[in-house]
Amino acid sequence: MKYENELNKKVIANAQSSYFMPIVSIAFLFSGDTNINHPFVRGHVKTASFIHLLFLIVYLIFIQFAFMVHFSFLSYRLNYIFASMFFLFLFGALIFASEKAHKGEIFGIGDMIKISSGEKGFISGEKKENLNEEDKLTLILSSIPLIGIFIYGKNYKDSTIENISKFNIFVSFFISLIYVSGNKEVANIFFLFYIIFIVFSSIMIMAQGEMITINMRKIFHPFALYNFLKDIFSYLKTYFGKEKFKDFSSLRNEKEEKRKIEEEREINLLQDLKNFPFNEKLIYFPVFNLLLLGKLHTKKYFHIVNALGISLVILFSWLILGIENVYQLLLVFPLFYGIAFLETKENYKLAFFFDIGKIIINLFGKIKGMFRKAKEIKKKEENISLKVEK
């Protein structure tokens, strides 16, 4: 994009200077001067701030935290080699972007990473019109690990919040996985990177109502992925089994249609059930919720089954890895998802965990049936004994 007659030398100079004044350039966003708070200048300030942020991240990872310091190549430490490579690339980006500003051309964040994903780039600056303070706060909080899950639970029909939630859960789970694997320093580095990204995004949202968007719209939400995998299994079943073969697209549409019909049926069934008699938050209290088996036939049936599934996984991890195993920390994610949807979606199913919970219920039903049958047999035997005695 190129601005023509509306640019003057001051506007261009301000845009250029943003690349070489990291702290001062951010103040440009809050200025009332039309030569500073100009769309052309703002565009370059965002790009400059992003490059400066990358400089800081590279410094923290490879210099401050000395990531890969124990590895060397031709007697040079790898952390210094990588730091030098990234610094040279970023310095080149500063010069190139500054030259674009000098020519009166916009150089966006997305131009730095030439990755296309449909209509929107992988990384893009997205302008949000008519945002009030509450909306801005919602967008910011939805990016924060764990807290963002609760925001998504309240706004799961909002495509923007869903997109942010996907990125949030992906990054948070990835960092947690690194942490429980024993690489705590690496996890801390990535966590710091994400915090800096959140702070930078928050400044952009509050100052200009603009946000850096990581396009995740074509990527499945973690729990929607489970249904996709089940559909693949059904697809392979039609190929290797005796059923008539169906192409994957038709099979998936058929399964989705069945899921929608099933969801409507579930909602109707829940309306006839009584309310859960205790505090709803107790449902997702690990292990303790096993005592709620007798309260299944309430409006919180699906959440109770979800929670039972999580408890069974926890007990299994205790049995295999011990009570103090660090891997059970990963179960915080499904627990938070369950709690987040307690009030907004009564028929919410936590994929995988819901199916495991059904195993407990079926087992409980069989045991209960066995006791009932044994009681009936004993009663019959007592009746026969009485008749014989007479």
Give residue-wise pLDDT tens across range 313-334.
888 888 888 888 888 888 889 8
76 shares its domain with 179: no
Contact criterion met (CB below 8 Å) for 342 and 283: yes
Mean pLDDT of the chain: 77
End-of-domain residue from the set 177, 192, 219: 219
CA distance 141 to 135: 10
Q: What is the mean pLDDT of residues 152-162?
A: 85
Res. 6: pLDDT tops 60? no
268 shares its domain with 281: no
290 shares its domain with 386: yes
307 shares its domain with 390: yes
Which pLDDT band, with edges at 50, 70 and 90, does 235 fall under? confident
User: What is the per-residue pLDDT across 110-144, written as a single tens digit (0 to 9) for each?
Assistant: 565 543 344 455 566 666 667 788 888 888 899 88
More confident residue, 149 or 250: 149
Burial zone of 300 (CB within 10 Å; 0-12 exposed, 13-18 middle, 19+ buried): buried
**What's the domain count of the chain?**
4
243 shares its domain with 147: no
- Beta carbons within 10 angstroms of residue 302's beta carbon: 20
More confident residue, 67 or 206: 206
45 shares its domain with 90: yes
106 shares its domain with 10: yes
- State the Cα torsion 182-185-188-193 to the nearest 10°: -130
Contact criterion met (CB below 8 Å) for 152 and 340: yes
CA distance 315 to 308: 10
Q: % helix / strand / coil in the chain, to the nearest 5?
A: 70, 5, 25
CA distance 139 to 161: 7
293 shares its domain with 310: yes
End-of-domain residue from the set 85, 112, 139: 112
133 shares its domain with 211: yes
1 shares its domain with 103: yes
Residue (of 153, 168, 63, 60) closest to 341 by Cα position: 153
User: What radius of gyration do the chain's Cα atoms show?
Assistant: 28
Query: What's the predicted TM-score (pTM) here?
Result: 0.63
More confident residue, 28 or 341: 341
Q: What is the mean pLDDT of residues 180-185?
A: 78
End-of-domain residue from the set 174, 197, 219: 219
Report percent pLDDT > 70 for the chain: 77
Burial zone of 113 (CB within 10 Å; 0-12 exposed, 13-18 middle, 19+ buried): exposed
In the structure, how many helices (H) and strands (E) does the chain have? Answer: 14, 6
More confident residue, 66 or 169: 169
127 shares its domain with 144: yes
pLDDT at 371: 61
Which pLDDT band, with edges at 50, 70 and 90, does 352 fall under? confident
CA distance 325 to 235: 37
Residue (of 309, 369, 297, 374) closest to 335 by Cα position: 309
- State the Cα torsion 165-45-98-33 to the nearest 10°: 160
User: What is the per-residue pLDDT across 249-303, written as a single tens digit (0 to 9) for each?
Assistant: 788 888 888 888 888 888 888 887 788 778 777 888 887 777 777 677 788 888 8
- Region for 376 from its dihedrals, namely left if φ exceeds 0, alpha if ψ lies in -120 to 50, beta otherwise: alpha
More confident residue, 235 or 336: 336
Res. 232: pLDDT tops 70? yes
Pairing of strands 210-214, 123-127: antiparallel
Q: What is the mean pLDDT of residues 46-64?
A: 83
134 shares its domain with 241: no
pLDDT at 372: 67
Q: Is the dihedral of CA 4, 6, 10, 15 positive or negative?
A: negative
* Angle separating helix axes 353-389 and 301-321, nearest 10 degrees: 100
Range of the domain at 288: 275-390
User: What is the per-residue pLDDT across 95-111, written as a single tens digit (0 to 9) for each?
Assistant: 887 777 777 777 766 56
Which pLDDT band, with edges at 50, 70 and 90, does 32 fall under? low
Residue 361 makes CB contacts below 8 A (sequence gap 6+) with 293, 296, 305, 308
Mapped onto helix, strand or coil, the DSSP state of residue 21 is coil
